[in-house]
Structure 1
């Protein structure tokens, strides 16, 4: 994945809270963990499997202080995104949201932009406190994507993915897929027969994968405010990296590696094959109607 070096980045949708840390109120860890797990099951957060990172370092902000000025200073163009992990996230968020803004407008609707919060260790959200162990997630309560960049290392070291810039882009685009579901009023369907290989949670997650694929389909034609595409080119290796990441976080693969057996009745995100299938469906078709995971088999 190569960004157009002259593409203009807009950091206004990315908030850097690294170095702050929302923290958990003392004495309520088990209760909060349970509540967060229930919220996660509803909105697609892989609580038990997508975390455990030690954090990504952080900014020089004092604890509790939001420091986004550094992002605005260093993340100005696609050239910055090609050279810097933080700026790559900004560029992907810009591209994803500009695509969905255009897609909604084509349907006569207005897209509501969502923020991405970068954090280290822990943070407070409208869905409750969260730690890096939750992994990347979308909170419908404040319509925000939360991301600890230490997850990129976790994706490789813990889940066995090859990683790469477009694997990271897939993760971000997937979480914004949940935002699209929220705007469509369909995110709550995750709670319908929540668990199991054909349950509501799996269907919701697979649809978010499909939406990520749709963005990938249009990634090289989605433009900045000046009409320049954010991304110059995607290679077959980029798509392979995204599919590899999708496979790595499949329920069956995680269960086999962590408990030595596969238990489909407890799935919440879908198998490796399902996740690859639905990302590919979105990528190949570029059509929302192709992403109806709630119709028929998955």
Structure 2
């Protein structure tokens, strides 16, 4: 994944915050295996922290310490190729260049990079929750340490495009929020192999694939993504399947506890989006998944 060296980055779409304290303290997740699964599976690529995080409420996210000046270090595509934070800026820029052309009425969403802890309109969170999208403030939250966890604990290959896939997935949730899909899905079953939650997550994977297919046309990349890039994304998608995570954490697979889809399903739906390049082909709510 190579950015054009001279392309200009738009830092206004990404905010970088330092480490800080959460008022009222951390996550409130039930103990035992069920609680651990809820934390890892429901929030690794989660949609809404409501009911899982402690504290928090409405309003703007609280500031949590010194911010990194992205405008000073992330100016061009060359910076994005050499610096992880700048790469996030470049990927976000590309995603938000794509979606207005694919979805009428698309509204930009900011990404907040944080370290350790963050306060959001959906509640308070720390790095254990992984990347997530908060519908209440329409922002994506990302602790870069998650990408190391993706390799060391989830067995993914890692790499720049694995990161791009994760970000693309979270912006898929933003698109769902704008289209009203999130609200509809919350009215259905939240667990189980055919649940609304699983369908929502697989659609976000598909949306990430649709962006990836069209990313070169956004003008930020030197060339279309390579087979190696896509393999990085597929490895990440497979690593965070419900069955893979359950097997790693509790030694058995329980389909009735699924919230995000199996490894095979996540690979299938990212591939569907990538091969078709059309979000209209991402209707996971119609028929079998």
TM-score class normalised by the smaller sequence = 0.7 to 0.9
CA distance in 2, matches of 1:42, 1:84: 26
Contact in 2 for aligned 1:44/1:204 (Cα 8 Å): no
CA distance in 1, matches of 2:65, 2:176: 31
**Deviation of the 1:41 alpha carbon:** 5.2
Partner residue of 2:241? 250
**Deviation of the 1:47 alpha carbon:** 9.8
1:168 aligns with 2:171: no
CA distance in 1, matches of 2:161, 2:282: 21
Partner residue of 2:218? 222
1:25 aligns with 2:24: yes
Q: How does 1:44-193 map to 2 (within 5 A)?
A: 45=46, 64-68=64-68, 70-104=69-103, 109-191=104-186, 192-193=188-189
Instruction: Return the match for 1:195 from 165, 183, 191.
Output: 191
1:209 aligns with 2:210: no
**Deviation of the 1:30 alpha carbon:** 3.1
**Deviation of the 1:32 alpha carbon:** 10
CA distance in 2, matches of 1:273, 1:208: 15
**Deviation of the 1:231 alpha carbon:** 4.5
Pairwise CA RMSD: 2.5
Taking structure 1 as the reference length, what is the TM-score of the superposition?
A: 0.84
CA distance in 1, matches of 2:183, 2:109: 18
CA shift digits 1:196-230 (9 cap, x unpaired) = 1110000000000000000000011113xxxxx33
- Matched residue of 1:30: which SS? coil
Residue 258 and residue 46 in structure 1: after superposition, are their counterparts in 2 closer, same or farther (change >3 A)? farther
1:259 aligns with 2:250: yes
CA distance in 2, matches of 1:32, 1:81: 39
For structure 2, the 5+ residue unaligned runs are 50-62
**Deviation of the 1:188 alpha carbon:** 2.1
CA distance in 2, matches of 1:259, 1:117: 32
Contact in 1 for aligned 2:27/2:125 (Cα 8 Å): no
Residue 231 and residue 168 in structure 1: after superposition, are their counterparts in 2 closer, same or farther (change >3 A)? farther
CA distance in 1, matches of 2:236, 2:242: 12
CA distance in 2, matches of 1:172, 1:117: 11
Residue 42 and residue 296 in structure 1: after superposition, are their counterparts in 2 closer, same or farther (change >3 A)? farther
- Matched residue of 1:155: which SS? helix
Contact in 2 for aligned 1:43/1:139 (Cα 8 Å): no
- Matched residue of 2:79: which SS? helix
CA shift digits 1:125-180 (9 cap, x unpaired) = 00000111110000000000000000110000010101000000000000000000
For structure 1, the 5+ residue unaligned runs are 49-62, 224-228
CA distance in 1, matches of 2:44, 2:252: 25
Residue 85 and residue 168 in structure 1: after superposition, are their counterparts in 2 closer, same or farther (change >3 A)? same
- Matched residue of 1:262: which SS? coil
Taking structure 2 as the reference length, what is the TM-score of the superposition?
A: 0.87
